[in-house]
Structures are given as structure tokens and as C-alpha cells.
Chain A
Amino acid sequence: MTRLRAAWRVASIPVYSILLALLVAAVVIIVSSTFTATGFDPLLPLAAYLRLLIGAFGSPSGISNTLVAAAPLMFGGLAVGLGLKAGLFNIGVAGQFLVGAFASAVVGASLAGAPMLVGMPLAVLAGALAGAAYGFIPGFLKARTGAHEVVTTIMLNNAATLLLTWAVNDLVRAPGFTFPRTAAVGESALPVLIGRNLHLGVVLAVVAIFVVRWVLDRTTLGFEIRTVGLNPEAARYAGMRPVFITALTMTLSGLLAGLAGSIQMLGVIGFYAPGITASVGFDSIAVALLGRSDPIGILFAALLFGAFRAGAPLMQIETSVPIEVIDIIQALVILFLAADLIVRRLFRVRAAKPEIAELQTVTKTWGGTTPSTTPGGGD
């Protein structure tokens, strides 16, 4: 009972934010309905949300779609959330996702004919390592020079997109296609476990949730990451090395983001082509914030966003409410999370914490004042 209450204290603001976002999005749907063929329809939001629900959970294939859409968001959400725990705002998940997807595609394709038990693990590993390497760069730069991770990761996102476009065009382009792409991953694909598309990556993502949770809660590394995030000065006095932890956390964050790309590549897409969507990168930030950086929270947040993605097509087909409404809802969720005073006033929430710590990190890192991680700190 007390545990339930404690959980609610943490979850109340996110839950209310979702409700408010749905409410405001409903207004948007009603207003926009007047400009469409259907005409003014005050009940349209209800119909749309119902289809959204049915699309996401109303059938085995719907549930399967939800889980498949949620899996990369779990990895991506963990990537952002882990960074936030260490006081780092990794908005480079998009780039790390692409690098991971590309590495998995290339290794997977080169082992396309090898037995699945050889090719698939190696392809996943390649994606993870590539993401880790790409996360290490901003981590190293921050540790060594104090270069801000927000700035470097944004730029590295662009660098990844362009470099990979070049690589697909000039290095690993598969012959026989009219557009630049890599060869199919073939046997290296993640096996489908249930139904049409529920692949092994979903299981990996859920396992990752619990592994990250265990590392954070139960290990010295997790203790170091959390301490550095909460009070880097005290961490130094305790004999930890914030500079090292910073670089390591960015690397691990990149690894998780790389895995997001990897399972999307090996479980869903199957080949790399320039322009594959990296929206997972930015949705991951939303997932981490909504999940309050807590792995279990991230699990639920990823499922919610996955459900939105999975249910949206049915909503669009049956009620002509465009899929883009999902983006509006997601944006509103984050808006209300950030402006939690609105939520508190409306719902009279008396949560113990005066503010959402993760958002503090986001705003603080943006302002660029993290004294401990400037160069010369530690030894």
C-alpha cells in the first residue's frame, strides 16, 4: 500500500500530463474537424481515441504492433534516462541510433547467409558497439575539454546522417537496386517469435529495462552514476571520478541507443537506406522524461508511445483524424511535464518533490553550468 502510494507520488504528474494532453489534443481535433469534409463534430475525439485504443490493443496483431513500436523506444528511453541519471542530456540518440542501425545492417548483410545463431548476435553486437563508440565521442569531449554534450550530440546527429548517406552511396551500396541501400540482412534478422512481427528485439528491450534498473540500483557503477548526477562535488570528495563516469555514461547511453537502432534494423527494416527515420531519437527524449528516467517508468512510457504509433493508422482510416495528431499529443505531454505547475494547480497534486529532477538536468545542462565536469576536475 505504501509502495503503491510512493509509486503514485512519482507517477502522478506524468499521468495527469497525459490526461491533459489528450484533453487539449481533443480540442484541436474538434476545431480542425470544422475545416474538413466531415464538418464540426464534437464527438470526433472520442471516436478517434477509441480507434487509437482498438488499433493498439484491440487485436493480437495490434498488441504485437504496439510492442514492436515500443521496443526501440525502450532502448532509446533508457539511453536518455541513463544519461539524465548522471546529469547528462544526451540528445544524440538519433545519431547513435542511425550508427547502430547501419553497423547492424552492414554486419548483418555480410553474414546474411551464415547461420542465424552466428550472424544475428554479431550483427546486434556490431550495432551496440557502433552506438557506444558514437556515444563515446561526446563523452570524451566533455570529459577532456568540457565541450557541452548538448552541442556536440546535436552536431554529431547531423554528422551521422550525412556520413552514413555517403557510406551507403559509395562504400556498401548493394548492386541491383535503383536506390542506394545495403543488402538485406537475411539470416541475421532477429527471429520473429509470435505472429507476424513480434521479434526477439522486444524481449531484448524488456530485458534491458531490468538490467539497467539492476545496474542503477544495485551496483557500485550505478551508485557512481547517480552520485555524479546528483552531486558531482560530493562524488569527487567520495573518491569517484566524475570525468570518467561522464565519459562512461555517455558511452553506455550510446550503446543503448545503438541497440535501439540495431533491433529496429534487424527486427523491422532489414536494410539500411538513407532517410530511414530516426524519429526514435527524439521520441526517446520524451519517453525518458515521461518515465522520469526510471527504467520501469520508461517501460510504461515506451509502451504508451508505441501504442500511439501502432493505433494511429486505424484512427486515420476510420475517423480521418490524421496520424500527426499523435505528434501533437506527444508534444503536449512534454509541455505539461515541463510546466508541471499547471498540472499541480489543476489536479491539486501535492507530490513530495517540488520539481521533476530530470527536467532540471535538461534546463541546467542547456544553460551549461556543471562545474565538476569541466576540465581539470578529478585526476
Chain B
Amino acid sequence: MKDGPTAGSARPVLEMRGITKRFPTGTLANDGIDLDVRRGEIHALLGENGAGKTTLMNILYGLLVPDAGEIRIDGAVATIHDPADAIARGIGMVHQHFMLVPVLTVAENVILGQEITRAAQILDLAEAGRRIRALGARLGFDIDPGARVSGLSVGQQQRVEIAKAVYRDVRILVLDEPTAVLTPQETREIFGVLRALRQDGASIVFISHKLDEVLEIADRITVIRRGRVVGSRRPGETSEQELADLMVGRSVSLRVDRGTSHAGAPALEIVGLRANDDRRHETVRGVDVTVRAGEIVGIAGVAGNGQDELIECLVGLRRPTAGAVRLAGRDVTRASVDRRRDVGFAFVPADRHRYGLVLPYTVRDNLVLTRYAERPYVGGLGTFIRQDAAIDEAARRLIAEFDIRTPSERDPVSTLSGGNQQKVIVAREFRQDLKVMVLDQPTRGLDVGSIEFIHRQVIARRDAGVGVLLVSAELDEVLELSDRVLVMHRGRIVGEFAASEAQRDRIGLLMAKGAAA
């Protein structure tokens, strides 16, 4: 145990017994799950995407009704019909996607639904502000009640969400993948807050699929696979490897063996590149990067340091204000997205729902989304008519080759799990005649099994002579995959490292400060 009291009393605050939930589609999301959470305990719920963690917590929060099973709070059976019931029983939930009103202030968001009023229904924001400040002090974070939520960083917004729950005297706080959107520093800070909450006697259910975090923060870990509890561990008694194997149901390798790279001729050359963001602020301020064929170059950096604009310049969605981009020796600075693809360029976007997929489309249409106008997918009248047979055939081949789990190629891609959705993009982009790949956080939000698969694919492509540029805010991933690591800070490359764990701290510092202290 790392610190703090491990559960004051042994009697569970929350017991869930035999929770079973089958969705109308036939999926058995929860299959007789038992879970108990004690007072003053951080209880991690670990499992792959689609294992049923979120379903279970949605049942607890009254968003779903279970088909069978019962929930006991303080030993008494509780029926929870809706979130209002859950809140009344002291259950709070911080969703993966925050439920804040951006135009309101922190105080207004926190008290929303529980407004303090003086006489005549006038909001007493001053009093609310005082309470929120006191709450922040107790939990060890700075919080400005008057700040507008839209101006806060993701990490700050999450603290507002937690403050919102604590403000309502929450006794059981559920956090759904709270660190998925945070930087390492922010993660550390939120862990401090959670520990403070535990000290106060609150019970915390922490949903995650990140092994290191779970081991660091949790007092107990319950592992769920395919709707069933497959094990329960204490951090001191287990390892990342064991947890990963439990989660996936087979032995997985957590670290892919990168092997050695054999860098060849320059595949992607970025020369003196400058670009503005949508508000015409210069966010890329003179970037020079060369990626050679057969090597993986990682760009580490805290989100918002110009990576997005840099990537858009590479993909062809943004015009740089100065500088040049060359693909396999050819200047493509002003070339269209299409032309770059023709030269042998592939791109895996960070936000797959926004950029990578058309969710209502079928798997097959998504598998040809970036090649929809190429033969053999089109024919007749030039390139006007889509060739369904050819598309079907290619889709079935890619589904088999990349082991995409889908009932058929004609199901909507939105019905697939996150990992399988990402596989659809990877299958589409990792084509045979590639020269350069740009990967923007290619495994964000994916589970161990999918990460392993995608990392292997990336390395296989590198070994086949593709130049890979990996951009990620997750230092772990950059360090694990890259042959060389560059650090980007405020629109510039501020450091270059041969990838090895030894450099981790220096890289982290450069990411945060831009210059070695």
C-alpha cells in the first residue's frame, strides 16, 4: 500500500450483487457482477473497452436499469431509478466527457441545480464561492470560483467536476477514465485530490484501463472481462503483466520489441515550417524535422504546442505561412490531400470520431473512405460509379487481415468497440505502397490488446521501409515506439534525444518548460 488508511471499516459502503444487464442488441454487458467498495477506499475497476465497466457504473448511477441483481448502500437494498436517486444517496459521477456549461463560471457550474439563494431568489454566488474555495483548500487544489469554464484547461475542468460532486456531499465518487485526457502532471495532481478525498472518508471507484495508474492509486483492483469479474487484486500482490493478462484473457506483451532501425533516405522533410492557427496566431514557429525511411521519429509535447497545426500542414489541410514539406523528395507544400496520398502518405488522426471515421457509415464504407475515388472501387463513366463488389471484397480482406471484430462489413462502424474502430482506420491507412506515415496519438483511449496490435503494425511498417512520424502527448508511447524523440514546445523543436528511458525526466522537463533547467 502506498499511503493513506486502507479502509477504515471493513463493512462495504456499496455492494453490488449479481448485476446482470443484457442490451436489446443481445450483448451481455454485465453477467452477474459482484463488487463491493469500502469506506475510504479507492477501488479501481479495470477492463478493456467494452468489458462492461461503464455499463456497471451507469447502473449504479441510475442511467440504466439492470435485468437482475441488487445494489446495497450501507447494507440496505437501494433501488436507483435515475441520477437524482443516485445523487440523493451520495453517489457522484464524473463522466469521461465533462458535463459542464462552458459559458458559466466555476461557481455557477458547481452550484447548478443546488443554487444557494438569499431572500427573493437572488443567487448568492459570493457564499457559493467561499464554500468552493474552502472545498478546494481541503482537497489541495486551487480553484477560482469566478473563472469561466471555457477558459480552463482540461485538467482544471475535471477538478471542477470533482468539486461539483464533492459539493453535493458525495460519499461514493465514480470517475470514468479520468486520466484519459490529462497530461502526466495533471494526472499526478488529480491523484493528489483523490487521495485527499479518501482521507476525508469518501469511497472512490476509479475506472481505467491504464495499468500503471491503477497500481499507483488503487487500494483494490477488480478486473472485468466480457461482463464478468475475472479477478480482484491488491496492488502490492500483483504486477502490470498479471493485470494485463487478466484483462485480455491471454498472455500479452506490454512492451513491443522495437528491434533496431535501419534508416535510409529521407522520407519526410519538414523545412523551416511556420503556420498559424485558426485565430491567426503563429503556433508553428520554424520547425525542421527529417524522418528517414525505416525509422520512427516521435514528437513529444504537451497538447497545444503547435502539434495540431503542424500535422494539418503535413496532411494538407492547412497552408503553412513559410517553409516546405517534402515527401520522398517531392515538394508537396501546396499539394492537396489527394496528391499526398498518391505519393504514398498515410495519416492516422487522433480524434477518430471527428476525423477518422464517418460513424453512421458501414465498416466497408469507412474502410475505403480515403480511397473512395480510386480504382477498383470506382469505374464506369470515368470514376463516377462506385463498384460495390470490389469494395465488399476489399473490406472483407481487410477485416480478416486486421482482425476487425464486426458481425459483417455492412454493419455501422459506430457499433464497433473503440479498438476495432481504430483498427478500421489502421487497416485503411496502412497500405502496401506507403512511404510516410503520420500517427497522431494512434492508440488514445485503446485497451492493452489493441495497443499491442497497433504498435506491432507500426513497427512492421517501419521495418518495411516506411518513415513514421509519431506525435503524441503520451510520453510513454513516444518513448516506447520511437527511434528518435523530438520535443516540441511553443511551436518549436526544443530538443532531440535517442529514445531511452534514461532520458525520460529530461524530456518531461523540456515538454513542460521548453528548456532544460
Contact = CB atoms under 8 A, between A and B. Distances in A.
* Physical interaction between A and B: yes
A223 B362 CA distance: 12
B383 interface: yes
A237 B349 contact: yes
A239 B385 contact: no
A238 interface: yes
A173 B315 CA distance: 57
Most buried by A among B24, B337, B341, B359: B337
Contacts of A223: 365, 372, 386
B47 interface: no
Contacts of A350: 24
B347 interface: yes
Contact of B356 (A221, A227, A234, A379): A234
B143 to A, nearest CB: 30
Interface string B359-378: 11100010001101100001
A218 interface: yes
Contacts of B360: 230, 357
A309 B316 CA distance: 52
A233 B354 CA distance: 6
Contacts of B385: 218-220
Contact of A219 (B24, B336, B347, B386): B386
Interface in A221-270: 221, 223-224, 227, 230-231, 233-239
Contacts of A379: 316, 319, 336
A292 to B, nearest CB: 13
B317 interface: yes
Interface string B102-133: 00000000000000000000000000000000
A30 to B, nearest CB: 39
B217 interface: no
Most buried by B among A224, A233, A235: A233
Interface in A191-224: 218-221, 223-224
B389 to A, nearest CB: 12
B338 interface: yes
Given A220-B384, A223-B372, A234 B354 contact: yes
B341 A239 contact: yes
A233 B355 CA distance: 5
B358 A220 contact: no
B267 interface: no
Given A220-B373, A223-B372, A379-B319, A236 B337 contact: yes
Nearest to A236: B317
B332 to A, nearest CB: 12
B357 interface: yes
Given A220-B378, A223-B365, A230-B360, A237 B386 contact: no
Majority secondary structure of chain A interface residues (helix, strand, loop or mixed): helix
Contacts of A234: 354-358, 369
A237 B315 contact: yes
A237 B317 contact: yes
B386 A230 contact: no
Most buried by B among A219, A221, A239, A376: A239
Contacts of B319: 379
A231 B319 CA distance: 22
Given A237-B337, A239-B336, A230 B355 contact: no
Contacts of B372: 220, 223-224, 238
A235 B361 CA distance: 12
Contact of B383 (A220, A233, A238): A220
A220 B369 contact: no
A219 B315 contact: no
Contacts of A219: 384-386
A256 to B, nearest CB: 19
Interface string A343-370: 0000000100000010000000000000
A146 to B, nearest CB: 13
A239 B372 CA distance: 9
A372 to B, nearest CB: 10
Nearest to A224: B372
Contacts of B347: 237
Contacts of B359: 230-231
Most buried by A among B357, B383, B386: B386
Interface in B323-338: 336-338
Contact of B358 (A227, A239, A357): A227
A379 B338 CA distance: 11
B355 A237 contact: yes
Given A221-B384, A223-B365, A227-B358, A237 B370 contact: yes
Contacts of A221: 384
B413 to A, nearest CB: 11
Interface in B370-413: 370, 372-373, 378, 383-386, 388
Interface of B: 24, 278, 315-317, 319, 336-338, 341, 347, 349, 354-361, 365, 369-370, 372-373, 378, 383-386, 388
Given A220-B383, A227-B369, 19 more contacts: A220-B373, A220-B378, A220-B385, A227-B361, A230-B359, A231-B357, A234-B358, A236-B337, A237-B337, A237-B349, A237-B355, A237-B356, A238-B337, A238-B369, A239-B336, A239-B337, A357-B360, A379-B319, A379-B336
Q: What 10 A-B pairs have minimum CB-CB distances, sorted nearest first?
A: A239-B337, A239-B338, A231-B358, A238-B370, A237-B355, A238-B369, A230-B358, A233-B355, A220-B373, A233-B354
Interface of A: 218-221, 223-224, 227, 230-231, 233-239, 350, 357, 376, 379
12 contacts: A220-B378, A220-B385, A220-B386, A227-B361, A234-B354, A236-B337, A237-B347, A237-B349, A238-B372, A239-B341, A379-B316, A379-B319
